């Protein structure tokens, strides 16, 4: 049953939802009408509907899976049935968000660091509001990792990393039950990486120069990753910087080419808490805009350039139509920001669409801008 269910979902990779006349993705897809009781969900976020469709299409699965369009409802179903774990489950769902409310997909394989998944209503960047069905790779721990996993009652038994459920360290659908040891990691290249990456217009990697290089080195030392320095950090990126940064990347769970010592935006943000050279918005300015723009005349702009940075991030999250990325923190932007706050786990008056420090920091971390008070 597990193999058939996963194979069905994987066969949908590459499918895309419809578009409106202006080209905007519109959440119209073939799965909602095909799930009895979920026809109403057409035009809504459909990641949970996609997994429900797979369950009703797979013989014997209908009573073993929550048939719902809501991730939050599905999480509650698994928990109420005593079938919930913090460990990956082969052929089981994973849930993202502070309480699992944001997004769901199905685990097709896992190892000690990653889960490999098939997901509906995502995109190539892994957004919880996307445009189609994609195969993804997500971290088991740290930023971007799941809130938890459902444990389907497969008749062939459960395969999970959970020690209480057998403790299988790695597995892949379509392989014999039991531990599937990952291939041995290749020996580290004795020559450190000697290329550069550009992040917000600034260079990182061997030969890069500038204050941003010093900032990285000092942050590495402060975090305990300065062991390869002989003279301490400075403005010229050397092999020692690369080796120290690789140690830091490995501490985050990266491996192989992803831990070669050349920064990427995500790891740099985690090291420094901000991205040098990047766009910066003021929390105070955005609060003022969110309070001043809605009652003013249409298109009124208070701190328009900063508002536009936030609006573009909301549009990239699928919460705001691109035509309203105009620098005016009007009612549509307030509504979109409220949607972002809800994704962050806020509700009621805490999700009123007026930016707060935590939600704005999280939006900035996801979309490459910095936040000041």
- Express each pLDDT in 49-71 by its tens digit: 999 999 999 999 989 999 999 99
Same domain, 227 and 339: no
Which of 106, 105, 109, 108 is CA-nearest to residue 122? 105
Burial class for 347, CB neighbours closer than 10 Å (0-12, 13-18, 19+): exposed
| C-alpha dihedral (111, 112, 113, 118), degrees to nearest 10 | 30
Is residue 325 within 8 Å of residue 361, measured between CB atoms? no
Q: What is the mean pLDDT of residues 99-110?
A: 93
Percent of the chain with pLDDT over 90: 61
User: Which of 217, 242, 272 marks a domain boundary?
Assistant: 272
Task: Please state the pTM of the whole predicted model.
Answer: 0.50
CB 156 within 8 A of CB 162: no
pLDDT higher than 90, residue 141: no
pLDDT at 250 over 50: yes
Cα separation, 232 vs 94, whole angstroms: 43
Q: Tell me: do 127 and 234 sit in the same domain.
A: no
Asked whether residue 38 falls in the same domain as residue 151, the answer is yes
pLDDT at 127: 61
Q: How far is CA 20 from CA 26, 43, 48, 131, 166, in A?
A: 6, 11, 22, 12, 48
**First CA to last CA distance, the chain:** 53
Domain count, the chain: 3
C-alpha count within 13 angstroms, C-beta hemisphere, residue 211: 3
The whole-number average pLDDT for the span 184-212 is 78
- Judge if 105 and 217 occupy the same domain: no
Structural domain containing residue 224: 196-272
Place of tokens 């659908």: 173
Q: Are residues 160 and 219 in the same domain?
A: no
- Spatial CA neighbour of 91 closest among 73, 71, 66, 116: 116
Question: Is residue 191 in a domain?
Answer: no
d(CA 149, CA 83): 9
Residue 109: pLDDT band (50, 70, 90) is: very high
């Amino acid at each position: 049953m597990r193999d058939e269910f996963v194979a069905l979902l994987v066969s949908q990779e590459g499918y895309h939802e419809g578009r409106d006349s202006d080209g905007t993705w519109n959440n119209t897809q073939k799965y909602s009408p095909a799930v009895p009781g979920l026809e109403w969900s057409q035009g809504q976020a459909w990641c949970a509907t996609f997994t429900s469709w797979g369950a009703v299409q797979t013989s014997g699965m209908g009573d073993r899976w929550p048939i719902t369009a809501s991730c939050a409802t599905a999480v509650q179903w698994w928990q109420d049935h005593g079938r919930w774990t913090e460990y990956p489950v082969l052929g089981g769902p994973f849930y993202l968000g502070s309480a699992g409310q944001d997004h769901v997909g199905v685990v097709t394989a896992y190892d000690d660091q990653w889960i490999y998944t098939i997901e509906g209503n995502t995109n190539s960047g892994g957004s919880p509001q996307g445009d189609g069905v994609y195969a993804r790779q997500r971290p088991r721990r740290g930023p971007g990792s799941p809130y938890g996993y459902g444990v389907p009652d497969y008749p062939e038994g459960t395969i999970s990393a959970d020690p209480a459920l057998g403790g299988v360290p790695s597995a892949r659908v379509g392989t014999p039950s039991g531990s599937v040891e990952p291939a041995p990691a290749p020996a580290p290249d004795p020559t450190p990486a000697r290329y550069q990456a550009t992040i917000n217009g600034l260079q990182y990697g061997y030969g890069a120069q500038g204050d941003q290089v010093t900032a990285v080195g000092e942050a590495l030392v402060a975090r305990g990753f300065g062991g390869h320095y002989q003279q301490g950090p400075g403005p010229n990126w050397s092999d020692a910087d690369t080796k120290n940064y690789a140690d830091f990347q490995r501490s985050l769970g990266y491996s192989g080419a992803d831990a070669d010592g050349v920064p990427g935006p995500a790891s740099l943000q985690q090291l420094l808490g901000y991205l040098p050279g990047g766009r910066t918005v003021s929390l105070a300015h955005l609060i003022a805009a969110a309070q001043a723009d809605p009652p003013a005349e249409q298109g009124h702009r208070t701190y328009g350039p900063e508002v536009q940075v936030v609006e573009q991030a909301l549009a990239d999250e699928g919460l705001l139509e691109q035509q309203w990325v105009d620098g005016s923190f009007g009612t549509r932007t307030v509504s979109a920001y409220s949607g972002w706050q809800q994704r962050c786990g806020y509700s009621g008056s805490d999700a009123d669409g007026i930016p707060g420090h935590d939600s704005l920091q999280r939006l900035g971390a996801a979309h490459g801008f910095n936040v000041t008070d």
